[in-house]
Amino acid sequence: MSLSNIFIWVSAKPSISNTLLKNTKPQNGGSQSSFPIVQCGLRELRERIDSVKNTQKITEAMKLVAAAKVRRAQEAVINGRPFSETLVEVLYDINERLQSEYVDVPLTNVRPVKKIALVVITSDRGLCGGFNNGVIKKAETRITELKKLRLECSVISVGKKGNSYFNRRPNVRVDKFIEAGTFPTAKEAQTIADNVFSLFLSEEVDKVELVYTKFVSLIKFDPVIHTLLPLSPKGKVFDVNGNSVDAFEDEFFRLTTKQGKLSVERASVRKRSEGLSPLLQFEQDPVQIIDAMMPLYLNSQILRALQESTASELAARMNAMSNATDNAVELKKTLSMAYNRERQAKITGEILEIVAGAEALKELE
């Protein structure tokens, strides 16, 4: 049996097919019966039970694979944040020292916005719950807002799911389709940064916004939007409402095993906002330093967004497969109960026929 046929019977949300089982309705205000009425024979029930068992094994394996990968992705997110934060602090400190000077850096040029580019980051695979739907819905909402403001909008789609979605939307202009890898690297981030950099410097777009899923914990991840270009003079990251998307406190869940099953332990990691030493001096011209660090900052922010999106995707897949496994267990119990009741009813009917035949023979004698 193919995988697509198997997943018809088990989904991330518990549900039982009405074509197979149908619960009895309460009569005269009585309570609803907990025993289902069988709509098929014993042979079909056995096939359904075997199919659900196979599905349970598949979803359990996919859950374990996602759990193993999400730990690596989670560590990449946690380990990558200090670099981005330190880079922001350096840019902040340099700009503070250059408040009285004119600095001409192309990526910081703020001009009247007429056209905006959205970089939408999705996954390459499905079976991860509402992960992709959340990001796409966030992008669609932003596109609608921009159209109401009479601003032109284009999309740079990253990920096969986003590519497939926007490819079927002729009313949305897509400048570039980019496929993401299993684990994001600096090379992939540089590819996206180069496209964004060329669009902004050629003045084809006046603003670039990044739409991705921010990883909070294994059970929470939120789609966010923040302005990528023009870069803020102080190096801070804001969303379209002017709110910072950097969390003050991160919840770090460590994967463990308890009694042979997957479990998590919670720990907290607080950010340190220590500035650079006032005694620090720069040998090069500060303008040259900013000009060299701005592209590095752009690349690091895109890489960070890719890492956050990957960790959120794996966490969503792990939760979806966990729900599917639980649903398979419940469905197997229900089908087994229906199978046993049907088999018992059949055996009882055969016994009654034998007894009735014996009684009829006695009467003939």
* Catalytic residue positions, numbered: 128
CB atoms within 10 A of CB 119: 25
Using alpha carbons, select from 347, 344, 348, 350 the residue that is nearest to residue 35.
344
Query: Which of these, 100, 70, 351, 77, lies nearest to 219 by C-alpha position?
Result: 70
Do the strands 152-158 and 115-121 form a parallel or antiparallel pair, or are they unpaired? parallel
Q: Residue 357 burial by CB count (10 A; 0-12/13-18/19+): exposed, middle or buried?
A: exposed
Dmax (CA) of the chain: 121
Contact between 213 and 308 under an 8 Å Cβ cutoff? The reply is: yes
Measured distance CA(330)–CA(295) in Å, rounded: 53
> What is the C-alpha separation between 17 and 270, in angstroms, rounded?
47
Cβ atoms of residues 138 and 240 within 8 Å: no
Pairing state between β 220-229 and 207-217: antiparallel
Q: How many CA atoms lie within 13 A of 165 on its CB side?
A: 23
Distance from C-alpha of 296 to C-alpha of 28, rounded to nearest angstrom: 73
Q: What is the dihedral of CA 300, 305, 306, 307, to 10 degrees?
A: 90
